[in-house]
Amino acid sequence: MIVGGFKKSSLIDFPDRVAAVVFTKGCNFRCPFCHNARLALPTEPVERYDEAEILEFLDARRGKLDGVVVTGGEPTLHDDLIVFLRECKAMGYETKLDTNGTNPDALRALFDEGLLDFTAMDVKAPFRKYPLLTGVEPDTSAIVRSMQIVAASGIPYEFRTTVVPGLLENEDVEEIRALVGAGARYRTQEFVPAKTILDPTLLDRLPNGDGATARPA
């Protein structure tokens, strides 16, 4: 994998776990509100982390860390994600994946091997608004398949949406709730204004033009 970030310990990225966080480089979305845009864009420079050194660190921290989170970017773009997670599981770690759901075949392979203990999948918008929220024209049928695979996986999961004022309205959130289905674990999260290099004009276009944060519906 191409690793563009590494957090040695986190109390907030894996529910009820102390976890290391691995950030992969590269994403197939171009969300204007992305808070990890340097990881998303292939042209943006980031510090590169050696995967072997990360595994050595994790090996040395067994018994002190509970889990490993792989996030991005979009981790499922990396064919060797499955190899990395095998190594983590062999050390006894619980694993969590953050994904945008565009690669259901990769998700299926990870679940089939029992390599995940928690999955967080972003549902960016109602499908009619996906081009606006992702900057691309995604295959929404693949996203539906991923949602079905995650919900039927038998492991803890959550679907989540970042509510960006001016891009998503309350009725959009209700449409997403219907999309994920009754009984699905779903939460909204605040948009935190930051440097949005994917769309530098975004903050100026928020309500009141003052970078106000959105509140979950």
Instruction: State the CATH number of the domain containing residue 98.
Output: 3.20.20.70
Q: How confident is the model at residue 216 (pLDDT cuts 50, 70, 90)?
A: very low
Handedness of CA 96, 154, 108, 62 (dihedral sign): positive
Beta-bridge partners for 161: 188
Asked whether residue 216 is domain-assigned, the answer is no
Asked whether residue 96 is domain-assigned, the answer is yes
Asked whether residue 58 is domain-assigned, the answer is yes
Least confident of 10-24, 137-151, 193-207: 193-207
Q: How confident is the model at residue 213 (pLDDT cuts 50, 70, 90)?
A: very low
Asked whether residue 215 is domain-assigned, the answer is no
Check residue 2 and give its pLDDT. 93
Check residue 212 and give its pLDDT. 42
Asked whether residue 214 is domain-assigned, the answer is no
Q: Which residue has 């999961």 as its token pair?
A: 157
| Diameter of the chain measured on Cα atoms | 51
Q: Is 50 helix (H, G, I), strand (E, B) or coil?
A: coil
Least confident of 58-62, 142-146, 148-152, 213-217: 213-217
Asked whether residue 35 is domain-assigned, the answer is yes
Q: Which residue has the higher pLDDT, 109 or 216?
A: 109
Q: Cα angle vertex 145, ends 181, 182, to 5°?
A: 5
Percent above pLDDT 70 for the chain: 89
Instruction: Calculate the CA 214 to chain-centre distance.
Output: 19
Least confident of 74-78, 82-86, 128-132, 204-208: 204-208
β-pairing verdict for 3-10 and 19-24: antiparallel
**pTM over 0.85, yes/no:** yes
Total domains in the fold of the chain: 1
Asked whether residue 153 is domain-assigned, the answer is yes
Q: How confident is the model at residue 204 (pLDDT cuts 50, 70, 90)?
A: low
Asked whether residue 157 is domain-assigned, the answer is yes
Q: What is the average per-residue pLDDT within 170-180?
A: 95
181 pLDDT higher than 60: yes
Check residue 42 and give its pLDDT. 76
Give the structural domain span for 47.
3-209
Q: If you ran DSSP here, which 8-state letter would residue 129 be given?
A: G
Q: How confident is the model at residue 36 (pLDDT cuts 50, 70, 90)?
A: confident
Cβ-based neighbour number of residue 213 at 10 Å: 12
- What are the tens digits of pLDDT across the range 69-127? 999 999 999 999 999 999 999 999 999 999 999 999 999 999 999 999 999 999 999 99
- Of 48, 51, 42, residue with least CA distance to 1: 51
